[in-house]
Each structure stands twice: as structure tokens, then as C-alpha cells.
Structure 1
Amino acid sequence: MKYAVQAVLGLALVFVNPAFAASAAPVSTVAPAHVQAVQDLLAAMQVEKVLNGVAARSRYANEAQRQAVYAKIDKTPPADIYRRLAAPLTPVISVDTALEMTRFYRTPYGKQVIHKRYNSGAQIQLPGMRAGVAAEEQKERKRPAYVQASKALTEAEPAIDREAFKLLQQIDKEKR
């Protein structure tokens, strides 16, 4: 009777906690090409700079802890960041979106957009003022593939920030 109870409890642990089950490991159904496309997009977006933004918005016990986190981010190679973020982001960024937005961010105008995103200061725009739109941007805005991919990427931004926060926590826990 005693052994039967232990066996039932052991089986309950296997079914409740898949970590105890050898065959419960999740099988990745994401194509390597999809992961690579997302990695390329993250590189074109210079997403490693998003980690700095997430760190800046995070709360720390003191300034020394904040500086330690920034130091760890600086020591982490950008390619490692892209690799670690790509797989969790494949459910929210399609291959088509990744390929189209990578193409865009690698154009001269796309590089300007990225530069402005991470390096622009506060800007004042008075009522009635309209921002000038470059001819190149007007042309891009009309391409159906770009319009669809840009919208999809905008919808994925909260997930990118969430995964960047998770990665920042992992980097902070690592010993470097």
C-alpha cells in the first residue's frame, strides 16, 4: 500500500510538472529561416538599444545597481541579443514582416529612421505645423507590402519590449 501511494504521487508529479517527464520537452515548430529573418530584423532595428531604454525605465535599489546593469548590457554582444530575442518573437513577427522591414531598415532612409528613433532629443511642434515628409518616405508609405509590415511591426512592439525586459532580467542575473 505504501509503495502504491508513492507511485501515484510520483505519477502525479510527472503529469502536473512536465519538468519531471522526459518526453514532455516542447518541440520547436518554428522554421530556422523564420528565426533567422527575425534575427536579421532585430539587427537592422538595432534592438540592442531597446535594452538600454528598458533599463532606463526600470527601477533599481541604487545607482550602483543601475550602472552594473548597463555595464552588463554593454558587455553583451549585439549578435547574442538578436539570437536570444529572435525565437520568442517569432510568434508575433511573421517572416514576411521581418523580411520587408529588414529591407526597409537597410535603405538609407530606413537607417535615418532608426537613427532618429534612438538619437533624437525632445522636439517641439507648434499647432498647425506639419512635419515635412521626404519623397523617399512618401514612396515607401505607398508600398502595400511596407504598409502591412509596418502595421504588423507596430503591433508587435509591446511584445518586443516585454521580451527585451525578460532578456534584461536574464542578463542581470548572469555573472560576467
Structure 2
Amino acid sequence: MKFVVQAALGLSLAFAAPAFAAPAPASAPAAQAAVSGPAHVKAVQDLLGAMQVEKVLKGVAARSRYSNDAQRQAVYAKIDKTPPAEVYQRLAPQVAPFISADTATEMTRFYNTPYGKQVIHRKYNGSSQIMMPGMTAAVPPEEKKERKRAAYVQASKELAAAEPMIDREAFKLLQKIDKEKR
């Protein structure tokens, strides 16, 4: 009798489980960005070039664990032999579903401005800064101007949401480059 009750309870839970399941999270617009074709992929490729994403690849390699230092140096040598244009070309189709063409175009425009180039330089070459309590970071006028543009605000939010996906795809590309004979 216990078995029948347990089986009935188990079946009722199995069929009722979808009703109690958590609702699907609302996906970000970046995740819904459909790849509209070669122009979209080219826009993302241009964005990756403006962002100097090959340096992200080196950062991923630096954070990865290797069994010995020789293996780490071999991976760095393979990354150095891979031209940046090839990295952009191979990474763009993988990242394009997470970045809309409008975002790619807007952020490419931004990163190609003198201030955008400074942002990229600080991102990869920045030194740590000590902030004392009560201090606020000085915001340059160029950044204040950009922060007010609606297209930039939306594009920067979408790109920030896509950053983890860019890192993930960069890791996958790093694995492929490591396996290739160069």
C-alpha cells in the first residue's frame, strides 16, 4: 500500500513540477539580437577590432591554469603568432548573436574617438588607483558628453551585458588556437 501511495505521489509531483517551475528569466535584448547577415557580422568584427579583443584573449590565457610554465609560454607564443584580424574574424560570428548591429556600430564609433581610444588604453594598460573615502573620480568632459547620448547609453549597456559571452567565446577560441599546429 505504501508503494502505491508513494508512486501516486511521485507521479503527481512529476506532472505538477512544470507548474511550480521558476518562470523563464526575461532575456536581455543582447541575447535576442538576431544575426541579420554578413553586414551584422562585419559590424561586430569592426567592434572587436576597435575593442582590441586580442588583448582579451591574452587576459583569458593569463587567468587559465596550465600544468607548467612551458605550456603557458607555448600558448602565449601561439596567441602572438595569430594575427589580430584573424582573431576578430573567428570571434565575430560567435559573438554576433549577443550584440546587435546597432550596438556594434555605435560602440565602434565610440571606441574610434580619441576619448574611446583612451578608454581602451586604460582598460588594458591601466594602473590601479587608490581612492580615499569621500573622493569621487573626475569625469572628463568627453565622457560627460558621451554619457548623455541615448544611443551610447543603450549600446554600452548591451555591450556590458555581452561581456561575459565575449569572454566565454574568447576562452573557446583560445582552446582552438592552442590545439592548432602553428
Q: TM-score range by the shorter chain?
A: 0.7 to 0.9
Q: Where in structure 2 are the equivalents of 1:11-160 lying within 5 Å? A: 30-160=36-166
The 1-side partners of 2:132 and 2:156 are apart by 27
What is the aligned-residue identity percentage? 75
The superposition leaves residues 68-117 of structure 1 with CA deviations (integer Å, 9 ceiling, x where unpaired) of 00000000000000000000111100000000000000000000000000
The 1-side partners of 2:155 and 2:162 are apart by 10
Secondary structure of the residue aligned to 1:91 is helix
The 2-side partners of 1:125 and 1:76 are apart by 38
Structure 1 residue ranges, 4+ long, deviating more than 3 angstroms after superposition:
none
The superposition leaves residues 32-87 of structure 1 with CA deviations (integer Å, 9 ceiling, x where unpaired) of 00000000000000000000100010000000000000000000000000000000
TM-score under structure 2 length normalisation: 0.80
TM-score under structure 1 length normalisation: 0.83
Secondary structure of the residue aligned to 2:136 is coil
Q: Corresponding residue for 2:172?
A: 166
Where do 5+ consecutive residues of structure 2 fail to align? Answer: 1-34
- Bigger shift: 119-128 or 142-151? 119-128
The 2-side partners of 1:123 and 1:67 are apart by 30
The 2-side partners of 1:171 and 1:125 are apart by 39
